[in-house]
Chain A
Amino acid sequence: SQQGEEDPQALSIQEGENATMNCSYKTSINNLQWYRQNSGRGLVHLILIRSNEREKHSGRLRVTLDTSKKSSSLLITASRAADTASYFCATDNQGGKLIFGQGTELSVKP
Chain B
Amino acid sequence: EPEVTQTPSHQVTQMGQEVILRCVPISNHLYFYWYRQILGQKVEFLVSFYNNEISEKSEIFDDQFSVERPDGSNFTLKIRSTKLEDSAMYFCASTNGIGDTIYFGEGSWLTVV
Contact = CB atoms under 8 A, between A and B. Distances in A.
Given A95-B55, A96-B95, A97-B48, A43 B101 contact: no
A77 interface: no
Interface residues of B, number: 26
A80 to B, nearest CB: 21
A95 B48 contact: yes
Contacts of A50: 99
Contacts of A60: none
A101 B42 contact: yes
A31 B102 CA distance: 11
Contacts of B48: 95-97
Contact of B104 (A35, A40, A92, A96): A35
Nearest to B99: A30
Nearest to B39: A40
Contact of B43 (A31, A40, A88, A92): A88
Interface string A23-60: 00000001101010000111111001010000000000
A41 B107 contact: yes
B99 A92 contact: yes
Interface of B: 31, 33, 35, 41-45, 48, 55-56, 89, 91, 93, 95, 98-107, 109
Interface of A: 30-31, 33, 35, 40-45, 48, 50, 88, 90, 92, 95-103
25 contacts: A30-B98, A31-B99, A33-B101, A42-B91, A42-B104, A42-B105, A43-B91, A45-B101, A45-B102, A45-B103, A45-B104, A48-B101, A50-B99, A92-B99, A95-B48, A96-B31, A96-B33, A96-B99, A96-B102, A97-B33, A97-B45, A98-B43, A100-B42, A101-B42, A103-B42
Given A42-B107, A48-B100, 20 more contacts: A30-B98, A40-B109, A42-B91, A42-B105, A43-B91, A43-B104, A45-B101, A96-B31, A96-B33, A96-B95, A96-B99, A96-B100, A97-B33, A97-B45, A98-B43, A99-B45, A100-B43, A100-B44, A102-B41, A103-B42
